[in-house]
């Protein structure tokens, strides 16, 4: 576990460092970008965009792997803490656990969206989105630094003697925390809500995929589908995985007893929200002449991915709902 | 899509041929890299396997053990304490345990001697672990002499030689009859080494432990969870120090890799210039360089991983067993149970491949941005 | 096919070693023609060639490409409209360059340590053509250039004439519409030079545009040339004396 922590820290520090380097390039570029100029400086800036794309692509890969590794590590660490039975308890050992996870998740999603913007920008011949993507990079870089800091302090402050709460008490309805709030949602209405939101999202996605319309709306609906997907998972679907009417933990799903199904479910939700929102961001720029052909094409592909991700998620939880012998009374 | 895959394949092919052309350089780099991964892998496998061994050891251990303390030292516990503990609510059984160590000067090793309630061990016989049997080349039915407290040897017949999942557990274990144990070591009657307490509901263990400490202030109740946690902390701590040291080595290696990747030879520079001049894009040369990096780091990773596995599980980690195993005595032919999970491999991958990629991305790009018309200008 | 309007190229601009290689050249190259750029070494011929061949962007002036290929690369909606190269990102220049042009360099610029065959295949690698197809095309080129028996030899074991044929084969592997050659006969004796011109003639008959920089009379006086332009100190002396 120690080695896992070291691996996570090394990677997050390296990632933050490289992103800061990329952010410096972004600032230079935003300041002195002039496409019309044939100067050597402009040429160098253009070449540096290739470097920045490579860096972010690499880091997106790192983020996906280390996000899973982080969750797995905290999940495995739970034995060190009296009172904890899964990742929920470990994350709760000190106040930095959940923020670290949230920042890491946000970084992953942003890096994914960044790659989509970058793709559209790369396909066009006049760098139409250079300002957009480098401004976003200036958000991503400090966030990644924050992640590294928060992760480091979280692990340094882990004291094995702390008695923490187990997921049973954290994800218990009627508490004022976010976790408690999620778990306290009435199961059946939240499931109905989820199905409604996802149905709208899928419909929206299919329309965007077939006609190219509604791309901006899809960003909103896919975000809603992402949130309601998590909420319904905590409030309702996980009960069917655990077959216990009161167990609302979103992390136990990651354990081998449940076939580590959680990794797949969360990956699908993330993939859905990244492609949905990424499509929305490039949709905003579809009017630029050099993007008028590229954006609709890319957007349709992304919408297809959104639809595939969310419908596979829907399929998985629904199959579980229908096939398990457990019934909620 | 197909053209993307084909072009990647072609570039990958060319990356491989390029690495083979610079054989000496490539192999020396891979060797150095693999060595770092090898040490890292060995440490991780070793600490992890040791931890698992100890977990196995403890899985058979009682949930709650009560020791008596006199002046802060462990002392035999009166059996009447056990009868008192048995009356605590929630306790289903209290069992006195007798165990200790015996130093065998012939082979200079410590045995763990323990009593058993197994009927197959009658007075005058004992059961020994497979490791011990190997060390003393004993077979079932052979005799083993053990020196008693009074300096006189007693002879026992080996009734059973046992092997269980973990070698570490049983290697030095000797099981005897209770009466033999008391006689051999002149252990006081009405006393036991410690008490093993079984609690009906595992959730009540902390409550029961607190109650025992209250009833008998001169005792120390230890739960299995406590031991497990201590062991985990000890192993992780030792392993952690080593990993920090190796990470330093890795850092040094990364700096070396950076240096190497940024200082291309004149030949490589010329080659990249040619590629640019015949129509390779900066991105494609960058991909070529990244493929090279990926090939090098994956090869080194796999070599190091396999090397680490062989070192730890087939050769019993001769290189640094002493460092980590600290507390252990002598285990002449002791083998760790091969045990690897995906998590360890993933961690090793992140720890060894990611830093290399991070370190080489900027130099690779620098190599890739040679002006395509360099080839032209050179001719004027 | 290519139009240059008042094009300049300045290297190391703003530094002490600033150097103007091309100073305001206007030139039009027509598809299918053979144009010889004549001039002593250091006159800016090579820089002009690399501007024509989209090796880099001009410091000022405009370069425009006519034709469907260039339009397709940029994804332009109207193929009849010329493509303005001047402000294109580098990767587009490269894309146009490898779709449209084949280059023969004075020093041949072959990669040492690999076979002649692989050298010829190199430009096609990133294009996404399967390796087996590239190989087949390359072998055909070796055949037609009469060096099939040298395909698997390493570059350093080839004679100067053979090396040049490998360089020609490499320039043709992507089936370019125009061939750009920089001092192609500089390292050849007159026999080999004539053989080179014979190859060029065949290419011209096949419809390839030829742009050759040379100060070899054998080349610029050859009947192949449709147009000879002379460059000196980065300026055009004779603005295209067509024959």
Q: Is the pLDDT of residue B25 over 80?
A: yes
Q: What is the pairing mode between strands C178-182 and B73-75?
A: unpaired
Contact check, Cβ <8 Å, A125/C57: no
Any A CB within 8 A of C130 CB: no
Nearest CB partner across the interface for A125, out of C56, C58, C89: C89
State how many domains chain B has.
2
How does residue B44 score in pLDDT terms, banded at 50, 70 and 90? confident
Q: Which helix (H) or strand (E) holds B264?
A: none
Contact check, Cβ <8 Å, C107/B377: no
- A77 and A128 inside one domain: yes
B232: chain A residues, CB-CB within 8 Å: 1, 79-80
CA distances from A170 to A160, A190, A252, C176 (A): 19, 19, 13, 68
Distance of alpha carbon B341 from alpha carbon B51, whole angstroms: 13
Distance of alpha carbon C212 from alpha carbon C106, whole angstroms: 11
Any B CB within 8 A of A327 CB: no
- B197 and B216 inside one domain: yes
- A205 and A151 inside one domain: no
Q: Is the pLDDT of residue B378 over 70?
A: no
- A120 and A177 inside one domain: no
> Three-state DSSP class for B296?
helix
Contact check, Cβ <8 Å, B376/C105: yes
C93: chain A residues, CB-CB within 8 Å: none
- B41 and B67 inside one domain: no
- B192 and B284 inside one domain: no
Contact check, Cβ <8 Å, A36/C13: no
Q: For all residues of chain B together, what is the average pLDDT?
A: 80
Tell me the pLDDT tens digit for each residue of A131-189.
999 999 999 999 999 999 999 998 888 766 555 666 666 666 555 566 766 777 777 88
Q: Is the pLDDT of residue C37 over 50?
A: yes
Tell me the pLDDT tens digit for each residue of B118-154.
777 888 888 888 777 877 888 888 888 888 888 888 8
What the block records as the tokens of A124 is 């066009």
- B349 and B365 inside one domain: yes
What the block records as the tokens of B117 is 């309630």
What the block records as the tokens of B119 is 């009927």
- Of all residues in chain A, the one with the smallest CA distance to C57 is A38
Nearest CB partner across the interface for B343, out of A58, A72, A82: A72
Distance of alpha carbon C242 from alpha carbon C56, whole angstroms: 27
Pick from B359, B372, B360, B357: nearest CA to B272: B372
Domain boundary among A109, A141, A165: A165
- B196 and B239 inside one domain: no
Contact check, Cβ <8 Å, A10/B351: yes
* pLDDT for position C138: 93
Q: Which chains have 3+ CB pairs within 8 A of C?
A: A, B
* pLDDT for position B261: 66
**Residue B233: partners with Cβ closer than 8 Å, 6 or more residues away:** A80, A160
Q: Which helix (H) or strand (E) holds B297?
A: helix B282-309
Q: Which residue stretches of C159-215 are H helix?
A: 160-172, 190-205
C89: chain A residues, CB-CB within 8 Å: 46, 125-127
How does residue B379 score in pLDDT terms, banded at 50, 70 and 90? very low
Distance of alpha carbon A244 from alpha carbon A258, whole angstroms: 13
Contact check, Cβ <8 Å, B236/A2: yes
What Rg, from alpha-carbon coordinates, does chain B have? 31
- A22 and A102 inside one domain: yes
Pick from C92, C81, C95: nearest CA to C3: C81
Q: Return the number of CB contacts < 8 Å for A and B.
A: 85
Per DSSP, the residues of C98-131 read HHHEEEE-TT--PPTTSBHHHHHHGGGGGGT--H
* pLDDT for position A104: 93
- B194 and B256 inside one domain: no
- Phi/psi region, residue A163 (left: phi>0; alpha: psi -120 to 50; beta: rest), is beta
Q: Which residues of B54-75 are buried (b: 16+ CB within 10 A; e: fewer)?
A: bebbeeeebebbbbbeeeeeee
* pLDDT for position A305: 92
Cα A70 to the center of its chain, rounded Å: 14
Residues B16-33: what's their mean pLDDT?
87
Q: Is the pLDDT of residue B330 over 60?
A: no
B44: chain A residues, CB-CB within 8 Å: 3
Any C CB within 8 A of A40 CB: yes
- Phi/psi region, residue C229 (left: phi>0; alpha: psi -120 to 50; beta: rest), is beta
Burial environment of residue C191 by CB neighbours within 10 A (0 to 12, 13 to 18, 19 or more): exposed
Q: What is the pairing mode between strands B77-78 and B191-192?
A: antiparallel
Secondary structure E strands in B188-281? 191-192, 194-199, 219-223
Domain boundary among A149, A165, A181: A165
The sign of the dihedral angle between the CA atoms of C37, C38, C42, C43 is negative
Contact check, Cβ <8 Å, A2/B283: no
Which domain range does residue A220 map to?
A: 172-329
A14: chain B residues, CB-CB within 8 Å: 354-355, 358
Tell me the pLDDT tens digit for each residue of C211-228.
999 888 888 888 888 889
- B212 and B306 inside one domain: no
CA distances from A286 to A279, B348, C201 (A): 10, 44, 49
Any C CB within 8 A of A36 CB: yes
**Residue C223: partners with Cβ closer than 8 Å, 6 or more residues away:** none
Tell me the pLDDT tens digit for each residue of B145-199.
888 888 888 888 888 887 655 555 566 778 888 888 888 888 888 889 888 888 8
Helix, strand, coil shares of chain A, percent, nearest 5, are 80, 0, 20
* pLDDT for position A319: 87
Place of tokens 């462990």: B74
Distance of alpha carbon A158 from alpha carbon A20, whole angstroms: 27
Among B residues 278-307, those touching chain C with beta carbons less than 8 Å apart: 278-284
* pLDDT for position B380: 38
The sign of the dihedral angle between the CA atoms of A160, A164, A168, A173 is negative
What the block records as the tokens of A204 is 């929206």
Nearest CB partner across the interface for A1, out of B236, B286, B365: B236
> Three-state DSSP class for A38?
coil
- A87 and A11 inside one domain: yes
B233: chain A residues, CB-CB within 8 Å: 80, 160
What the block records as the tokens of B229 is 């946690």
Q: Is the pLDDT of residue C108 over 80?
A: yes
- A112 and A4 inside one domain: yes
Domain boundary among B175, B194, B222: B222
Q: Is the pLDDT of residue A265 over 70?
A: yes
Contact check, Cβ <8 Å, A3/B362: no
A163: chain B residues, CB-CB within 8 Å: none
Which residues in B have their CB inside 8 Å of a CB on A? Answer: 43-44, 47, 225, 228-229, 232-233, 236-237, 239-240, 243-244, 247, 282-283, 286, 290, 343-344, 346-348, 350-351, 354-355, 357-358, 361-362, 365, 368-369
Domain boundary among B191, B222, B253: B222
**Is residue A103 within 8 Å of residue A147, measured between CB atoms?**
yes
Tell me the pLDDT tens digit for each residue of B201-212.
777 777 888 888
**Is residue A170 within 8 Å of residue A88, measured between CB atoms?**
yes
Residues A267-276: what's their mean pLDDT?
92
What the block records as the tokens of C158 is 């080839």
Any A CB within 8 A of C8 CB: no
How does residue B288 score in pLDDT terms, banded at 50, 70 and 90? very high
Contact check, Cβ <8 Å, C75/A127: no
How does residue B93 score in pLDDT terms, banded at 50, 70 and 90? confident
How does residue C121 score in pLDDT terms, banded at 50, 70 and 90? very high
- B182 and B158 inside one domain: yes
State how many domains chain A has.
2
Tell me the pLDDT tens digit for each residue of C134-169.
999 999 999 988 888 989 999 989 988 899 889 999
Any A CB within 8 A of C204 CB: no
Give B218→chain A minimum CA distance, Å. Answer: 24
Among A residues 241-300, those touching chain B with beta carbons less than 8 Å apart: none
Does the domain spanning C2-242 belong to CATH 3.30.70.1290?
no
Residues B328-356: what's their mean pLDDT?
71
- A152 and A186 inside one domain: no
Q: Which chains have 3+ CB pairs within 8 A of B?
A: A, C
Q: Is the pLDDT of residue B266 over 90?
A: no
* pLDDT for position B332: 38
Pick from B194, B187, B250: nearest CA to B220: B194
- A21 and A83 inside one domain: yes
Give A265→chain C minimum CA distance, Å. Answer: 35
Weakest mean pLDDT among A27-31, A225-229, B221-225: B221-225
Which domain range does residue B299 map to?
A: 2-57+230-377
| CATH number for the domain harbouring residue B69 | 2.40.40.20
Give the bridge partners for C145, in sequence order: none
* pLDDT for position B331: 42
- B239 and B352 inside one domain: yes
- Of all residues in chain B, the one with the smallest CA distance to C186 is B379
- Of all residues in chain C, the one with the smallest CA distance to B379 is C106
Per DSSP, the residues of B316-358 read --TTTHHHHHTT----TT--PPP---HHHHHHHHHHHHHHHHH
- A161 and A176 inside one domain: no
The sign of the dihedral angle between the CA atoms of C169, C173, C174, C177 is positive
Q: Which chains have 3+ CB pairs within 8 A of A?
A: B, C
Residues B68-88: what's their mean pLDDT?
86
* pLDDT for position A134: 93
How does residue B329 score in pLDDT terms, banded at 50, 70 and 90? very low
* pLDDT for position A78: 76
- A111 and A210 inside one domain: no
**Domain spans, chain C:** 2-242
Contact check, Cβ <8 Å, B355/A10: yes
Q: Return the number of CB contacts < 8 Å for B and C.
A: 107
Question: Between these two residues, B279 and B331, which has the higher pLDDT value?
Answer: B279
């Amino acid at each position: 576990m120690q080695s896992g922590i070291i691996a996570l820290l090394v990677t997050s520090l390296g990632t933050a460092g490289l992103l800061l380097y990329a952010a410096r390039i972004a600032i230079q570029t935003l300041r002195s970008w002039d496409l019309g100029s044939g100067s050597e400086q402009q040429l160098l800036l253009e070449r540096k965009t290739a470097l920045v794309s490579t860096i972010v692509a690499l880091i997106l890969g790192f983020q996906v792997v280390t996000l899973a590794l982080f969750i797995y590590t905290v999940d495995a660490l739970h034995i060190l803490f009296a009172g904890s039975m899964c990742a929920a308890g470990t994350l709760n050992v000190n106040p930095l656990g959940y923020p670290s996870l949230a920042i890491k998740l946000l970084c992953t999603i942003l890096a994914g969206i960044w790659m989509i913007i970058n793709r559209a920008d790369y396909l066009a011949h006049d760098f139409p989105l250079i300002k957009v993507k480098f401004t976003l990079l200036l958000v991503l870089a400090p966030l990644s630094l924050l992640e590294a800091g928060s992760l480091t302090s979280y692990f340094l402050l882990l004291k094995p003697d702390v008695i923490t709460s187990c997921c049973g008490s954290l994800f218990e309805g009627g508490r004022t925390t976010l976790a408690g709030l999620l778990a306290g949602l009435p199961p059946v209405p939240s499931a109905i809500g989820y199905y409604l939101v996802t149905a709208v999202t899928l419909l929206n996605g299919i329309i965007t995929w077939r006609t190219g319309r509604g791309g901006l709306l899809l960003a909103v609906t896919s975000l809603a589908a992402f949130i309601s997907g998590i909420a319904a998972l905590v409030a309702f679907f996980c009960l069917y995985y655990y077959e216990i009417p009161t167990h609302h933990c979103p992390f136990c799903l990651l354990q081998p007893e449940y076939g580590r199904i959680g990794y797949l479910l969360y990956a699908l939700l993330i993939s859905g929200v990244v492609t949905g929102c990424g499509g929305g961001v490039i949709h905003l720029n579809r009017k630029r002449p050099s993007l008028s052909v590229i954006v609709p094409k890319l957007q349709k592909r992304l919408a297809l991915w959104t639809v595939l991700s969310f419908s596979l998620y829907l399929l998985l939880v629904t199959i579980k709902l229908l096939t398990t012998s457990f019934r909620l009374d | 899509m197909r053209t993307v895959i084909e072009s990647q394949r072609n570039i990958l092919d060319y990356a491989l041929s390029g690495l083979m052309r610079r054989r000496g350089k490539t192999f020396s780099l891979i060797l150095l890299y693999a060595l770092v991964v090898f040490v890292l892998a060995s440490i991780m496998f070793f600490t992890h396997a040791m931890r698992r061994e100890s977990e196995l050891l403890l899985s058979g251990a009682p949930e709650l053990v009560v020791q008596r303390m006199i002046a802060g030292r462990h002392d035999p516990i009166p059996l009447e304490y056990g009868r008192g503990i048995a009356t605590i609510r929630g306790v289903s059984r209290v069992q006195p345990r007798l165990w200790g160590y015996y130093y065998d000067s012939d082979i200079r090793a410590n045995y763990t001697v323990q009593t058993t309630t197994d009927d197959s061990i009658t007075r005058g016989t004992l059961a020994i672990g497979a490791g011990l049997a190997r060390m003393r080349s004993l077979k079932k039915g052979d005799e083993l002499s053990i020196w008693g407290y009074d300096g006189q040897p007693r002879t026992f017949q080996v009734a059973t030689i046992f092997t269980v999942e973990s070698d570490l557990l049983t290697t030095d274990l000797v099981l005897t009859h209770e009466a033999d144990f008391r006689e051999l070591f002149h252990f006081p009657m009405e006393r036991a080494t410690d008490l093993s307490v079984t609690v009906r509901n595992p959730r009540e263990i902390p409550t029961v432990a607190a109650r025992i400490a209250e009833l008998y202030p001169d005792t120390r109740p230890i739960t299995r969870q406590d031991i497990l946690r201590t062991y985990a902390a000890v192993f992780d701590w030792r392993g952690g120090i080593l990993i920090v040291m190796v990470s330093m080595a890795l850092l040094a290696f990364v700096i070396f890799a950076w240096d190497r990747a940024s200082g291309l030879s004149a030949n490589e520079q010329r080659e990249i210039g040619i590629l640019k001049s015949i129509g390779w894009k900066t991105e494609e040369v960058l991909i070529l360089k990244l493929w090279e990096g990926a090939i090098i780091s994956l090869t080194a990773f796999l070599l190091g991983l396999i090397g680490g596995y062989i070192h730890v599980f087939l050769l019993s980690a001769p290189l640094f067993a002493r460092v980590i195993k600290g507390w252990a005595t002598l285990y002449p032919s002791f083998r760790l149970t091969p045990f690897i999970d995906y998590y360890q491999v993933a961690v090793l991958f992140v720890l060894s491949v990611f830093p290399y990629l991070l370190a080489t991305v900027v130099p690779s790009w620098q190599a890739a941005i040679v002006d395509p018309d360099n080839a032209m200008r050179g001719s004027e | 096919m290519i139009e240059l309007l008042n094009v300049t190229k300045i290297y190391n601009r703003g530094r002490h070693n600033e150097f103007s290689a091309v100073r305001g050249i206007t030139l039009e190259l027509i598809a299918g023609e053979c144009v010889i750029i004549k001039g002593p070494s250091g006159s800016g011929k090579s820089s002009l060639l690399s501007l024509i061949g989209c090796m880099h962007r001009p410091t000022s002036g405009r370069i425009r490409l006519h034709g469907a290929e260039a339009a397709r690369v940029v994804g332009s909606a109207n193929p009849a409209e010329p493509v303005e190269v001047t402000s294109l990102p580098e990767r587009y220049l490269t894309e146009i360059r490898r779709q449209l042009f084949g280059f023969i360099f004075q020093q041949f610029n072959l990669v040492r340590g690999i076979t002649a065959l692989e050298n010829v295949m190199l430009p096609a690698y990133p294009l996404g053509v399967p390796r087996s197809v590239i190989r087949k095309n390359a072998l055909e080129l070796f055949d037609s250039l009469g060096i099939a028996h040298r395909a698997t030899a390493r570059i350093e074991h080839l004679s100067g004439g053979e090396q040049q044929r490998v360089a020609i084969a490499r320039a043709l592997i992507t089936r370019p519409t125009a061939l750009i050659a920089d001092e192609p006969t500089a390292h050849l004796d007159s026999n080999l030079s004539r053989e080179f011109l014979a190859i060029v003639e065949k290419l011209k008959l096949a419809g390839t545009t030829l742009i050759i920089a040379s100060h070899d009379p054998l080349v610029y006086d050859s009947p192949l040339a449709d147009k000879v332009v002379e460059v000196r100190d980065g300026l055009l002396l004779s603005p295209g004396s067509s024959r």
